[in-house]
Structure 1
């Protein structure tokens, strides 16, 4: 008959006995002495907090920052612990510290803002997916399998999977896989096309150019479409260069005024009626 060894709780080296200090804290009024005793208890349990922080390392956050978060959770646990409870301080402190670390990752480590509900779906899907591991043919578990294991709908699983892949953002300077010469994601982006604004401006002036007198339209055509100089236009039409200059300035100013008037009228048309909005008309 196999020998069955009795189970014993292994005492951790980072779990000191501070029960006497907690009993003293329970009977002390708030003041410098109680604050000093709390700090003594916190220092005694800091190795355990650091151990818990190391469990969350290699997730994109510096270990020093994780230890600070864990120490914050430890301070909260020391303040909230009731020595009159039957449970040991370690049983109360560990969930408090771990919860603080998880909250840190949830609230501060996402590259984009994700609703808390989606973050929770991501965690449940991740846990279920990792527990199922891979299938026999080395494929990730199917959506239906994850949904059954996590107690979610398939739509919720798909949302969680999308959030799983969106935990961290990709730098625009990051080199794309399979490319050479440092070709980055930024290199795939298009640039602003100046021709778009030019096309809009041309369409805006077109109807007003057609309303100009024929000679002014001819002068503008020769100057801006045929790239003739003012002297060349003057020789072509048999008028002075000064006259050509005045006609160009006058025509352009008139067209600009009409275009601005059109834009102002369009803005007034698009703007809501404050009287109608207030009266519900």
Structure 2
């Protein structure tokens, strides 16, 4: 036996009021658009502004379907409003379809163009961008119809394309945003992602420099090695080194220059000559 849920009187009443409100907005919209036809531009624009205000909730509702894709909600709504403005200016009252039948695709198209042209961090090929936009628009309705997130094949069947193209387009969803290094690395320790990135290790460079310099320095005499140690390890000035060795600052300068020239020549010799 099949049991059909019975909706409460309050729920039916709320739905009825919502339907009446939507119909009232639709009727008012059509009336305003009809009145705007043929008026001078200033008066026409005033009536179209009223149409835009009446239907702004529709634009916000459409924009909400594109959330969590790396674009701020305010930006999405602004783009949706732009689509609504274009629809209000482009719609003709003598058309066979109602205003929303024209406005909704216009708003969606504006949002898709925004994602295609402005929201990519890494820009994939145009065909992939367009397919990703089609998937984003179709996925909510497919999920409602199927009762679960559609597979690539189910999405492809709905869009009239191949499952491989859907999979390729779905793989670029992360291209809309980047993950900040200030984002939490884990929910429990309070660390940032930046804390988990390895720092440059200067120790390896130091070991390499010592290994390279050691043979060249070993060829120097004791006094030359002492001068190098006092200057670069002890941090003494040339005057202080002269006082330590009992020579003038000028002599220390000449000695130090000669030592560095010999080291430079030794370190820059071709490998075969160095051997």
Matches within 5 A, 1:139-218: 151-154=161-164, 156-177=165-186, 179-180=188-189, 182-195=190-203, 198=206, 209=216, 218=225
- TM, length-normalised to structure 2: 0.60
Bigger fraction of residues in helix: 2
Q: Distance in 2 between matches of 1:146 and 1:199?
A: 57
- Cα separation, 2, equivalents of 1:14 and 1:259: 84
Cα contact 2:128–2:168 (8 A) shared by 1: yes
Asked if 1:92 is matched to 2:102, the reply is yes
| Residues in 2 aligned to 1:165 and 1:144: alpha-carbon distance in whole angstroms | 21
Matched-pair contact (CA < 8 Å) for 1:219–1:248: no
Deviation at 1:190, TM superposition (A): 1.3
Match of 1:35 among 42, 48, 61: 42
TM-score after normalising by structure 1: 0.59
State the distance in 2 between where 1:218 and 1:66 align.
Answer: 69
Q: How do residues 193-272 of structure 1 correspond to structure 2 at under 5 angstroms?
A: 193-195=201-203, 198=206, 209=216, 218-219=225-226, 223=230, 240-242=246-248, 243-244=251-252, 246-252=254-260
Q: RMSD in angstroms over aligned alpha carbons?
A: 4.8
What count of residue pairs does the alignment treat as equivalent? 237
Unaligned runs of 5+ in 1: 1-8, 26-32, 263-281
**Distance change in 2, residues 1:142/1:241 (3 Å):** farther
Deviations 1:168-225 (CA, angstroms, capped at 9, x unpaired): 3222122223542x12211111112334555676688789x47x87577645665579
Contact 2:63 2:77 in 1 (8 A): no
Higher relative contact order (CA 8 A, sep 6+): 2
234 and 86 in structure 1: CA distance in 2 versus 1, 3 angstrom threshold: closer
Corresponding position of 1:3:
none
Indicate how the Cα distance of structure 1 residues 14 and 196 shifts in structure 2: closer, same or farther if over 3 A, else same. Answer: farther
Q: Does 1:23 align with 2:37?
A: yes
Say whether 1:51 aligns with 2:58: yes
Following the alignment from structure 2 to structure 1, what is the Cα–Cα distance between the partners of residues 163 and 135?
11
